[in-house]
Structure 1
Amino acid sequence: MIAAAAENNALGKENDLVWHLPDDFKRFKKLTTGHHIIMGRKTFESFPQALPNRTHIIITRNKDYKAKGAVVVHSLERALEIAKDDPQPFIIGGGEIYKQALPYSEKIELTRVHSEFEADTFFPKIDNTNWELVNEEFHPTDEKHKYAFTYLTYERR
């Protein structure tokens, strides 16, 4: 899984991010390029267009949903089956998909944004009895980043 979440686990509001962190976008691109990215319909629709050099798998309950440049499925299990030959597929959101995917995940790449935000979508709580923090990299605020953040890498225990 890959996500950016605030201290209160906020992911976004009204299908949009509530912060702008250019370095986090660059890291997301670097990590996910060349891989399958699995997401819910609303996450896909929040993009201006399909992200280049990635296989998009969209999970939706809508049996008639079509998306140009993407594979549409109706369950997380089917999405994972399609991505099975990818050594590192990524779950990229939203909140409900993250909750469903947590039991299947072996690794979480989390950007922890050091602030709290009003939101309508949240990342699930990480249970430290199941997850071990294996790497962290702090980034202070600067002229491009209004909020400090830390890249956190968790692996399943």
Structure 2
Amino acid sequence: MISLIVAHANQNVIGFKGDMPWHLPADLKRVKALTTGNTIVMGRKTYESLGRPLPNRKNVVLTRNKDFKPKGVTVIHDLKEIQSLDGKVFIFGGSGLYDVTTNIVEEMYITRIYETFAGDTFFVDYDLNEWDIISREYFEPDAQNIYPYEYLHLVKK
């Protein structure tokens, strides 16, 4: 199954100057819980922003750069190779990879952050009417997570 996982703020902002413009520890824990033991596929820029493979997951990087060969990572060069990966696969970003894979994903795990941030990287527009909402949980700000947010688990209709 090909899934997608993303956190976005208002206006679908997912990044600014190569980083996420927010700190939301609850979302980081959720990402870890959902992706551990599975495969994550990301673009080269996203991988470089992380700086290392994420532990306890198969890390796959899609890039056109034939010389890109970081240790501990599987490198692929064709979008079609994603569909031949074994097990549960999470599209992990960035925006370019989200843009070209939203038509092949079967489910999305979205964290919507109800705050406006400066951004230069955006998640693709999506229509909730094209998805069944499996679960939806809203959270008020607290001492560690200072923005209101919600988790959505969506499955394509």
SS of aligned partner of 2:116: coil
SS of 2:69's partner is coil
Aligned residue for 1:46, secondary structure, equals: helix
Q: Percent identity?
A: 40
Q: 2:29 aligns with which of 26, 29, 45?
A: 26
In the alignment, what sits opposite 2:92?
92
TM-score scaled by length of structure 2: 0.94
Q: Distance in 2 between matches of 1:74 and 1:155?
A: 27
Map 1:94-133 → 2, pairs under 5 A: 94-133=94-133
> Matched residue of 1:15: which SS?
coil
Coordinate RMSD, CA, aligned: 1.1
SS in 1 for 2:115: coil
* Aligned counterparts of 1:106 and 1:79: Cα–Cα separation in 2: 13
Higher deviation after alignment, 129-138 or 101-110: 129-138
Runs of 4+ in structure 1 over 3 Å off? none
Q: CA deviation at 1:138?
A: 0.8
CA distance in 1, matches of 2:105, 2:82: 13
Counting matched residue pairs gives 154
**CA deviation digits over 1:39-75, x for unaligned, max 9?**
0001111114211110011011111111111011112
Q: Secondary structure at the match of 2:153?
A: strand
Q: Which runs of 5+ in 2 are unaligned?
A: none
Q: Deviations over 1:110-156 (max 9, x none)?
A: 00000121111111111234222221101111110121110011110
Q: Of 79, 96, 103, which aligns to 1:76?
A: 79
Residue by residue, what CA displacement relative to the aligned partner does 1:82-136 show, whole Å, maximum 9, x if unpaired?
Answer: x2x20x2100100010111101101000000001211111111112342222211
Match of 1:139 in 2: 139
Task: Tell me what 2:39 maps to.
Answer: 36
Q: Which amino acid aligns with 1:152?
A: L
Partner of 1:62: 65
Q: 23-32 vs 129-138, which deviates more?
A: 129-138
Pairwise CA distance, 1:79: 2.8
Q: Any unmatched runs of 5+ in structure 1?
A: none
**CA displacement at 1:80 relative to structure 2:** 2.8
